[in-house]
Amino acid sequence: MVRRFACLALFAAAFACSSDGDDGGADPSGGPDGGPSGSQDGAVGDGGTDDTDSGTPVISATHPRILLNDAALRAALEARLSGSPSGTRFGTLVDGVVAGGSSYAFEPWYAALVGVLRSSKAHTAYAIAKTDDFVKSEEARIAAGQVPTVAGDSYLEVGDRIGNLAIVYDWCFADLTPEQRTRWLAYANQAVWNVWHHETAKWGTGTFPWSGWSVDNPSNNYFYSFLRATMLLGLAEHGEDPQAQTWIDTFRQEKLEKQLFPTFTNDLQGGGSREGTGYGTAMKNLFQLYWWWERSTTERVAIRTPHTLASIPHLMHAIVPTLDRLAPTGDHARDSSAELFDYHREYLIADMAIFPNERLSRVAKSLLEQSTLPRMTQAFLFVSDFLYDPAEVTAEPLTNLATTYWASGTGQLAMRSAWTKTATYANFICGPYTESHAHKDQGSFVLHRGSWLAYDQNIATASGIEQDEAMHNLVRIRSNGTAVHQIEGAPRCEMTGLVDQPSFTYGAARVTPVYKNAPSVQKIERDFLFVKPDTFVVFDRVDTTSGAERIWTLNVPGTPTANGDLLSFVAGANRIDVRRLSPTGVPSNIVSWASAGMGTGSRVDATHATGTSTRFLHVLGTNGSAPTAARSDAAGTIGAQIGLADGRSVLVRFSDAGTGGTLEIRRADSSVEWSGPLPTTITAPPLFAN
């Protein structure tokens, strides 16, 4: 089953507020179902004043209880609505819809927000009417013995549908009739009860059990939808319905304190999501909940786990130098190309709103200003620019951020030559494979310079959910004609060496455990060396049983040329040249993905089936950066002597049977720039360059 992530775009139909006459931009998927330093593995406070906990939550005894009971925030939003670009744009959108227009995925609570801030009865009446219409339609389905729409797709939409009801109930309470209050809460309480009691879920007089997908998995995007419904309903009906305290306790203690915080702190060091950069954007929904809870109750839950702050640099480093797309890890069902989209902007600004005084937020502001998304492009997300407007965050130069980032929780090692749009970039993966939206990509890498030079083929597919090894740049194993796969839930890929120096970045991955003791796989290890600013060396130790083929795989977004052990691919003004130094004489088999119905692009396979052991050694130069490369072995090592276009020379040797090796980089005048052993320990890079 393909699991879509919860987002505002999914819920237009729920309230019948959209039409083909969208006046705020179309969803790119074509429809609602498109679906200060220190290591990064903790990303502690970086010099700001945003790491103080406020203590016990305080819930207002009167309405509003959600967000707008914060007097300072309410005053700021009132001023922003009439005097800022984000407020003007949001207000104009809402006014148009309330006057009879339409806008894709518009939610009634947008009107309620403007109504409260302006004291406009027309706006609150609109929000009430649309929400009541929705509740009535759900009641009709229940009366007919049917499952209401809120239960669809394993209750994926419960967060926004019940969340909307709770917000409108809270903000428009005085204008609701007693009958509406009773009906709305009865429906909403049953929906949230069903989420947490999936085996005995009830509607009307019937029992409608469901799968309970991810009700106890804080790393999954569905979980944040469940939290949203539970938190907002508990706040809205606090003191008015006996269920309220149950939902508050479920949200705050059972799900955050006992499940999410320990899981994130233990498993997601360095931020981000194990679901990748597609479904992982659902973390934005969690950051919103942290911020809304804090503003509603004064309790600063976001700092209960270092994951929250760490997720800012995690996403920034996933964005390629051109600041228009991301390293495409995991499923990308909405947009397979991994283009930078409003959801990524929302992810950053919601997290920045939690930490407005942190240095990371100041640098993130510069990134957004220089990116292709200086503001939201989709009308249904104008509300996020309005609520989390980073206008008051003081920007700090993007160049102050380090150029390398390691997040052990997701296994992402991102590196770039500089924070310029022409920089060379790579992302190397070695970590856990535990989520259904993750891919069989442990040990893989992607390269970008101006555009993709080596990428995940999933980018070019129609579905964006093609997960198998052939889509990724790694060593594949085929045993007796059958592909051997990495296994979800297997022991993690282990990073055995990591260091970042001014001259180079190095990572060593032990991929073997991900195959979960597959009989044919004895050893798969990859050493990945980035000689700054534009050359890479990839060394693979691969041992198998007899009858297994070892296939070195590279995907490029076009058609490469092969000349013996040299492979080249040109993308506009940029190119990549791949020299195979070991084993020699193995042909590069170029496979067109179009022939397999997988879009454009090519897969290059170098298949070695002789014996049971292969040592692949490749030198990858970008834009002619490494014109010469030759084998240079020593006792117990396999290595390369590389001549760089800038006059420098590189001598690197990797241990044949063990780990590590040696590296020497000499300047053009033959003086030593760096010399020493390749590490067999982990030294995480700092967050900042200065």
Q: Is 320 helix (H, G, I), strand (E, B) or coil?
A: coil
The chain-wide mean pLDDT, for the chain, equals: 93
| Per-residue b or e along 164-203, where b marks 16 or more CB atoms closer than 10 Å to that residue's CB | bbbbbbbbbbeebeeebeebbbebbbbbbbbbbebeebeb
Cα angle 679-684-688, degrees, rounded to a multiple of 5: 130
Cα angle 682-528-588, degrees, rounded to a multiple of 5: 160
Give CA–CA dist 106/123, Å, rounded: 13
pLDDT category at 4 given cuts 50, 70, 90 is very low
**Do 326 and 318 form a contact (C-beta atoms < 8 A)?**
yes
Give CA–CA dist 547/400, Å, rounded: 52
Which amino acid does the sequence have at 572? G
Q: Is 676 helix (H, G, I), strand (E, B) or coil?
A: strand
pTM: 0.92
Is 91 contained in some domain?
no
**Do 460 and 599 form a contact (C-beta atoms < 8 A)?**
yes
Residue-wise pLDDT tens digits, 15-60 = 333 333 333 333 323 322 222 333 444 344 555 557 766 678 999 9
Quickly tell me which residue has 């001549």 as its tokens: 643
Residue 20 has what pLDDT? Answer: 30
Residue 596 has what pLDDT? Answer: 87
Please report which helix (H) or strand (E) contains residue 64, including its range.
none
Query: Which whole-number Å values give the CA distances from 386 to 67, 86, 380, in the listed order?
Result: 14, 5, 11
Give CA–CA dist 656/672, Å, rounded: 25
Q: Which residues pair with 478 in a beta bridge?
A: 483, 549
Is 175 contained in some domain?
no
**Do 339 and 324 form a contact (C-beta atoms < 8 A)?**
yes
Q: Which residues pair with 622 in a beta bridge?
A: 576
Q: Is 102 helix (H, G, I), strand (E, B) or coil?
A: coil
Which amino acid does the sequence have at 682? I
Instruction: Tell which residue, 114, 117, 84, has the closest CA to residue 98.
Output: 114
> Can you point out the beta strands (E) in 450-565?
451-454, 475-479, 482-484, 494-500, 504-510, 521-531, 535-544, 548-556, 561-563
CATH of the domain at 520: 2.70.98.70
Residue-wise pLDDT tens digits, 320-368 = 999 999 999 999 999 999 999 999 999 999 999 999 999 999 999 999 9
As a whole-number percent, the residues of the chain with pLDDT over 90 amount to 91
Is 139 contained in some domain?
no
Residue 601 has what pLDDT? Answer: 96
Is 566 contained in some domain?
yes
Instruction: Tell which residue, 127, 112, 129, has the closest CA to residue 77.
Output: 112
Orientation of helix 342-354 relative to helix 283-297, angle to 10°:
30
pLDDT category at 167 given cuts 50, 70, 90 is very high
| SS3 of 564-617 | CCEEEEEECCEEEEEEEEECCCCCCEEEEHHHHCCCCCEEEEEEECCCCEEEEE
Q: Which residues pair with 575 in a beta bridge?
A: 570
As a whole-number percent, the residues of the chain with pLDDT over 70 amount to 92
Residue-wise pLDDT tens digits, 589-635 = 999 999 888 999 999 999 999 999 999 999 999 999 999 999 999 99
The neighbour count for residue 216, using CB atoms within 10 Å, is: 12
Instruction: Tell which residue, 129, 94, 64, 167, has the closest CA to residue 383.
Output: 94
The residue-averaged pLDDT of 529-549 equals 97
pLDDT category at 243 given cuts 50, 70, 90 is very high
Residue 100 Ramachandran class (φ > 0 left, ψ -120 to 50 alpha, else beta): left
390 pLDDT exceeds 60? yes
Which amino acid does the sequence have at 277? T
Is 64 contained in some domain?
no
- DSSP for residue 685: P
- DSSP for residue 175: G
The neighbour count for residue 624, using CB atoms within 10 Å, is: 11
Please report which helix (H) or strand (E) contains residue 679, including its range.
none
Residues in CB range of 254: below 8 A, 6 or more apart: none
| Per-residue b or e along 128-138, where b marks 16 or more CB atoms closer than 10 Å to that residue's CB | bebbbebbeeb
Residue 46 has what pLDDT? Answer: 55
Which amino acid does the sequence have at 378? Q
- Burial environment of residue 674 by CB neighbours within 10 A (0 to 12, 13 to 18, 19 or more): middle
**Do 130 and 108 form a contact (C-beta atoms < 8 A)?**
yes
Phi, psi of 160 (to 5 degrees): -80, -35
State the total domains in the chain.
1
Is 564 contained in some domain?
yes
Give CA–CA dist 113/30, Å, rounded: 28
Residues in CB range of 570: below 8 A, 6 or more apart: 558
Is 173 contained in some domain?
no
| SS3 of 371-425 | CCCCCCCCHHHHHHHHHCCHHHCCCCCHHHECCEEEECCCCEEEEECCCCCCCEE
Instruction: Tell which residue, 208, 203, 200, 199, has the closest CA to residue 186.
Output: 203
Output the six-digit token pair for 225. 């939808």
Residue 173 has what pLDDT? Answer: 98
For residue 643, give its domain range. Answer: 402-678
The neighbour count for residue 347, using CB atoms within 10 Å, is: 27
Quickly tell me which residue has 């907002």 as its tokens: 232
Residue-wise pLDDT tens digits, 184-238 = 999 999 999 999 999 999 999 999 999 999 999 999 999 999 999 999 999 999 9
Q: Which residues pair with 592 in a beta bridge?
A: 602
Is 215 contained in some domain?
no
